[in-house]
Amino acid sequence: MKDNKFLIVMAVLVVGVLAAAIFLKPDNADRAGAEGSQNFYGNESSNVTVTEFVDFQCEACYAYYPGVKEVKEKYKDRVQFQVRNFPIVSGHQFAFQAARSAEAAARQGKFWEMHDKIFEGQKIWEQTQNPESYFDQYAEEIGLDMEQYRTDRDSGDVSAVITADLNAVKELGGTGTPTFAINGEKVENPGPSVEALSQMIDDALAKAESN
């Protein structure tokens, strides 16, 4: 009888521990929101990570876009690149919507494709009162599951990711877009030319190799 009671007590304890573990286990969405964007490109083993905080409706980011895209390809075997969100909605009414669309695409592994589409179409969609129609068109063109895309775009998880990025750039001391950081430290914007961006990366690689 005592053995039976002992087994029952142990079973209850095991069930309780498992239930607590499930209840307390952090949700993947919560972790993603806390960490911010996880949009990386290039050599993940590199000791140099170049982060660009962007506003998809920003004219300066638009000017930097071609040069950044070229150096990403030029240095992808030596450097890891990251894009995070810095929508400045006080001046760019559609910036947050664009960031949502890019992050929704990221959940289907198509962040960079959407990133490029949004920047390349900036001068068109920013002139409308319904940029979502263009973002939807881009999503279809890159082959997203549209139902999933719309669900993710409007989700609290995506909002949390963008908010985490905004908090990160604030802590970094970024005040305008684009803001660049190397290995988590803010750097002065090098200028949008391929030569200037390349020099910034060359300096970072040289510094990393000397340490």
**pLDDT tens digits, 107-157:** 999 999 999 999 999 999 999 999 999 999 999 999 999 999 999 999 999
| Residues 204, 134: Cα–Cα separation, whole Å | 37
CATH number of the domain at 172, please: 3.40.30.10
Pair 76, 107 in one domain: yes
Pair 71, 8 in one domain: no
Pair 9, 102 in one domain: no
Pair 84, 164 in one domain: yes
| Residues 147, 15: Cα–Cα separation, whole Å | 37
Pair 89, 17 in one domain: no
Pair 189, 166 in one domain: yes
Pair 19, 93 in one domain: no
Domain count, the chain: 2
Pair 45, 8 in one domain: no
- Provide the pLDDT for residue 73: 98
Look at the block and give the residue holding tokens 């139902």.
Answer: 147
Domain that holds residue 6: 1-28
pTM of the predicted protein model: 0.83
Half-sphere exposure for 163 (CA within 13 Å, toward CB): 11
User: 101: which 2 tokens?
Assistant: 């669309």
| Residues 151, 137: Cα–Cα separation, whole Å | 16
> Looking at the predicted structure, is the pLDDT value of residue 9 above 70?
no
Segment 41-53 shows an average pLDDT of 98
Pair 24, 83 in one domain: no
